[in-house]
Structure 1
Amino acid sequence: MTNENERLELEKINNQIISEFSKTLEMFSLNKTEAQLFVTLYLNGAPMTLNEMRDALGKSKTAMSYSIRRLLEFNLVERVFQKGVRQDLYEARQDLYKKFMKTYVNRWLDSLNLQIDNLADIQDTMGNCPNDEKKLLEHKIEEAISFHRSLETVFSKIKKNDFL
């Protein structure tokens, strides 16, 4: 009976680790399932199939498939080969800080560039606005672009300075 109690206690602790660690990862724009899956793969210590992931998290195989694709896109997991195993196997990459920071910074930079381009496009279409309104709107757009460029500078420095 003590073996069963020990197993249940270890399972409880494992679930607490997954819950807490995944909260941190959600701050990096992973959804809850993606974060839980990454932590599960990270803690598992061995590659897992989609079926094993499904069983470990109690989610659908479709949810696991979608989440693993997203984690692959972010370069947070990798597909691995094991002789004799027919199903795809995945494992978490181990260099967490660099991977998450690189992904996070690149996503911010992509988003900032898109916003700057969109604001500039809006500015270009303002030809039909009355002069007084146009000047105020142009000023506000310039402030918004300046704000986005300031953020872009900060994230570019982070990316450039060997933090990643």
Structure 2
Amino acid sequence: MASEADKVQLEKTNNQIVSEFSKTLEMFSLNKTEAQLFVTLYLHEAPMTLDQMKDALGKSKTAMSYAIRRLQEFNLVERVWQKGVRKDLYEARQDLYKKFMKTYVNRWLESLNLQINNLAGIQEDLDHYPSDQKQLITHKIHEAISFHKSLEEVFSNIKKNDFL
């Protein structure tokens, strides 16, 4: 049977893993709570309830509910059913690389498309500028749109070629 010192050391190591792993996930636009929750679910050997998540992370049930919904939106966790359990249970999906990269690439593509449309909209509203200023602004907007389209092409190729 594990001693109290062993249990403390195990919890310390687990907290370090959650902390370091979640830093990586934050680079994929998850906030700190979402990243920590995902790592906790990923490392946990069984599905967890919101109450278990709350206790594991020391956060409110409301924060856990919000974070789990966001993780579900990104298709990183799923609700699971277990016979005899009345509360909702959640677990992390296991294919990390593919899930995160697919989510990341799709978010980039959505954002780039929005930015391209917004820049084009700004260009359409330039009528009230003097022609010399309008020409300079139009040129800068065209450069910005070209930049965004280049990025869009890269991410589209990643998605199309199934590097994910």
TM-score surpassing 0.5?
Answer: yes
Give the C-alpha shift of residue 2 in structure 1.
6.1
Report what 2:62 is aligned to.
62
How large is the Cα RMSD of the aligned pairs? 1.0
Please give the per-residue CA displacement for 1:98-141, whole angstroms capped at 9, x wherever unaligned.
00000000000000000000000010111121000000000000
1:9 aligns with 2:27: no
Please give the per-residue CA displacement for 1:62-93, whole angstroms capped at 9, x wherever unaligned.
00000000000000000000011000000000
Report what 2:134 is aligned to.
134
How high is the TM-score relative to the length of structure 2?
0.98
Q: Between Structure 1 and Structure 2, how many residues are aligned?
A: 164
Give the letter aligned to residue 5 of structure 1.
A
Alignment of 1:14-53 (within 5 A): 14-53=14-53
Give the letter aligned to residue 24 of structure 2.
T
Alpha-carbon distance in structure 2 between the residues aligned to 1:100 and 1:151: 19
Unaligned runs of 5+ in 2: none
1:114 aligns with 2:94: no
Alpha-carbon distance in structure 1 between the residues aligned to 2:79 and 2:2: 37
Alpha-carbon distance in structure 2 between the residues aligned to 1:135 and 1:45: 61
- Structure 1 residues 5 and 84, CA gap change in structure 2 (3 angstroms): same
Unaligned runs of 5+ in 1: none
Report what 2:103 is aligned to.
103
Report what 1:148 is aligned to.
148
1:80 aligns with 2:80: yes
How high is the TM-score relative to the length of structure 1?
0.98
> After the TM superposition, which parts of structure 1 deviate over 3 Å for at least 4 consecutive aligned residues?
none
Alpha-carbon distance in structure 2 between the residues aligned to 1:51 and 1:82: 16
Give the C-alpha shift of residue 163 in structure 1.
1.3
Aligned to 1:78, the other structure's residue is in SS state strand
Aligned to 1:126, the other structure's residue is in SS state coil
Alpha-carbon distance in structure 1 between the residues aligned to 2:64 and 2:30: 14
Give the letter aligned to residue 136 of structure 2.
L
